[in-house]
Amino acid sequence: MTSVEFGAFVSMFLIGGLLGSLARLQLSRKFSLQLANVFFLCGCCLEYVAPSIALFFSARLIQGVGGGIAYTVVPIYIAEVAPSSTRGTLGVLNQIAIVLGLILAQLAGVYLAKDTLWRLTVAVIPAVFPILSSILLIFIAESPRYLLLHGNRVEARKHLSRLRGCADVAQEMEDIESSLGMGAKTDGEDESMDESDLESMGGLHTSVDERSPILKSASRGGAPDQRSGTLKSILQDPGLRKPFFVALTLQFFQQGSGIKSIQFYSTTLFEEYLHANDDTSKLLTLLVSLTFLVCTVASLGYVDQIGRRKSLIISQSLVTVASISVVIGGTLSNSDTSSSFPLILTTAGVYFFAGSYHLGLASIPKMLMSELIPTAALETAQAFSVAVYWITNAIISTLTPYLVDSIGVLFFAVFVVTNGLGAVFTYLFLKETSGRSLEQATRPE
């Protein structure tokens, strides 16, 4: 592919992601993810048999729709099922899974992207994962908040008990119902679970405090949340408008950081500035992804401990420094070709950028909408948040090859500005959400 065709190929997935994120699916969280798997699998099948580049691009678009659905639903599901003490950790684990998938794809690209095996890389191996995901989804619990929102109280309590590993979830149920604007149970409603229900959930303890102490900190009381789930109602509600725009802006700053330029075009950068051959550049790019993994794992230890806000500010500040390093190295390499220092500075900046991004900026923005917006309005808010993600992603991914060809790594000066502004914005406007239940975190200040 030419640089123009490759940029278009990358953008097709992003356009599909935008369409998938804006789709208002009237499906549960589990069925939405199953639908995403269908799109992934159909795209893989079409890529395998596509006789022309037009059909190949169409397959990528279909896969993008699945990616948009998954990227919208997964953060919501994690936020809705996780205890507040581990919600951030689970969000980071989701990012670890994404990075592992990226590493696997790059390994396949290095060793299998040959003339006769390239369809195996782009179609056969990727098809394994939606199939596996579809099987595993059968066995996971549905979101109790989703079930309550749609009036299925008995099933909600069963699934919440299954998630918490105990039968006594009355207080958490009460807190969730209060946040959804639901009244107390009717006099005739029986909340009790019989032994068969408990056995079907794998043998549960009778006290929530034994297995999940965090439930003790669930929010008490509070006025019912009567907010509607439309964009208009979100914008008209002062309690929702500010957190909605904060989460949208941080989603923009995440993709505006320049990470996709590193992820998609680091091989080109290594070829241009290190004069590495194709295989060496691919291995260096693989090391970038390994840096992703190491730093994402490292962030597991503190995202919940020191909080989302501090973690994000640290990550954004370090990425700003890394961007400056890349710009300085690129500038010096253009003026002094005899010294190896500019090449070392540029390369170090690329790896420092990759690591710093995954210390918080990679995982935290996608969590925030689920933690700042109540469940009743969350699907709409998350859809627009993910739309900002895909639009910004598409713009940067499309422009990067042109900028690399014209001014090289000097275009990282843009990311110095966006990451610096992002850190200042986070400091000024983001409230802390870690260690708080969703009911506490989404309560207007």
| 340: helix, strand or coil | coil
154 contacts 197 by C-beta, under 8 angstroms: no
Co-location of 206 and 179 in the same domain? yes
The answer to whether position 420 is within a domain reads yes
The answer to whether position 421 is within a domain reads yes
* Residue matched to tokens 């990727």: 126
- Residue 203's nearest CA partner among 214, 211, 195 is 195
Co-location of 180 and 216 in the same domain? yes
Domains held by the chain: number: 2
Co-location of 320 and 171 in the same domain? no
Note down the domain range covering 208.
144-186+197-224
Q: What's residue 181's pLDDT?
A: 63
Structure tokens at 2: 């030419």
The answer to whether position 432 is within a domain reads yes
Question: What's the angle, vertex CA 134, arms to CA 129 and CA 140, rounded to 5?
Answer: 120
pLDDT digits (tens, 9 = 90+) for 309-344: 999 999 999 999 999 998 898 788 767 666 778 778
Co-location of 276 and 168 in the same domain? no
Co-location of 131 and 278 in the same domain? yes
How far apart CA 294 and CA 299 sit, in angstroms, is 9
327 contacts 409 by C-beta, under 8 angstroms: yes
Each of the 445 residues of the chain gets a pLDDT tens digit; together they read 666 676 677 778 888 988 998 876 778 899 999 999 999 999 999 988 888 888 889 999 999 999 999 988 999 899 889 887 788 888 889 989 998 988 888 787 777 766 667 788 888 888 999 999 999 999 999 999 889 888 888 999 999 999 888 878 888 888 778 766 665 454 344 444 444 444 444 444 333 334 333 233 333 334 334 445 678 888 888 888 899 999 999 999 998 998 888 876 677 677 766 666 777 777 788 888 899 999 999 888 778 788 889 999 999 999 999 999 988 987 887 676 667 787 788 888 889 999 999 999 998 998 888 888 887 788 888 888 888 888 888 888 778 777 777 777 778 899 999 999 999 999 999 988 876 766 666 666 5
Co-location of 418 and 307 in the same domain? yes
Give the CATH number for residue 241: 1.20.1250.20
The answer to whether position 192 is within a domain reads no
Co-location of 267 and 405 in the same domain? yes
Co-location of 135 and 259 in the same domain? yes
The answer to whether position 310 is within a domain reads yes
Co-location of 124 and 49 in the same domain? yes
Q: What's residue 46's pLDDT?
A: 93
The answer to whether position 383 is within a domain reads yes
Instruction: Characterise 192 by phi-psi region: left (phi > 0), alpha (psi -120 to 50), beta (else).
Output: beta
The answer to whether position 111 is within a domain reads yes
pLDDT digits (tens, 9 = 90+) for 45-97: 998 888 888 888 999 999 999 999 998 899 989 988 988 778 888 888 998 99
Co-location of 96 and 156 in the same domain? no
Co-location of 219 and 238 in the same domain? no
The answer to whether position 26 is within a domain reads yes
Q: What's residue 109's pLDDT?
A: 72
